[in-house]
Chain A
Amino acid sequence: MKRILYVEHSACTSQLCQIRDKVRETCHFLGYSETDINLITLVIDEACTNIIRYAYSGEPGRIVLEIYRHENEAIFHLQDFAKCIDKSCLELRKTNLLEPGGLGLQIIYQVMDFVQLLPPEGEVGNILELKKHLPKGSQK
């Protein structure tokens, strides 16, 4: 598993733009189409938004984003250092588009091939793992 990107940012909404730029750049390097780059960027943004809103509840904190290439997949790890969340937080509940809440999670599941919470490395924190198949031409 080869790490392509490691970035660490404050869990602050003003940082989202910079995180998106890094994701776009890395996805371009990995050979994704413009459509996939847009969607993957949206997914990472939604995941960071959820960390800021729900894991840290607006309190100061850090977000670490790592992107790996492994066989025919790109693997995205988003780590926070907030209180551990329950796996049920990742359950998709939204049924009506016109009701508030849950849209970000719906987008994450629709775009990515695999979504899971990894066991935390210490007593606090969460690692969200997301996987997306690489385009055929760029698989190594």
Chain B
Amino acid sequence: MTFEQTKHLHYQLLALTGEVDLHNSPQVRKQLLGIVESGNSVIVDFSALSYIDSSGIATLVETYNIAKNKQLSLTIVGATGAPLQVMELTHLNKVFSMIDSLDEIKG
């Protein structure tokens, strides 16, 4: 798993590539919590993500809860295949803001 973090005007984008599991989800957690703790909304790009387990999902849930308390947002973009199936299975696709493309983001 690799990730790339880029700053935008109204949010920070974290693009994940490969597979997120218990082995590497602590790295993802550190990045995500760092973004929201510093007062930024976050968009997590799933376009190149091929797998995510419940430890990765739990990290997203934790980030979502912190972001919400700080009146920030967490959005997931480009989820397909296995990661989208996990989101649907856990019904978190109805909790998180999920979009198909970054074109849907204003600013």
Cα-based distance from A51 to B54 in the complex (angstroms):
14
Q: Which residue of chain B is the closest to A48 with respect to CB atoms?
A: B22
A/B pair count, beta carbons within 8 Å: 63
Given known contacts A42-B51, A100-B62, what 5 new A-B pairs fall within 8 Å (CB)? A16-B23, A38-B81, A41-B82, A98-B61, A100-B61
Q: Does A45 contact B (CB under 8 A)?
A: yes
Judge whether A16 and B91 touch: CB under 8 Å: no
Q: Chain A: interface secondary structure?
A: helix
Return chain B residues, CB-CB under 8 Å to A110: 89
Chain B: residues with Cβ within 8 Å of the partner, total of 23
Cα-based distance from A107 to B85 in the complex (angstroms):
11
Judge whether A97 and B92 touch: CB under 8 Å: yes
Judge whether B23 and A17 touch: CB under 8 Å: yes
Q: Which residue of chain B is the closest to A52 with respect to CB atoms?
A: B22
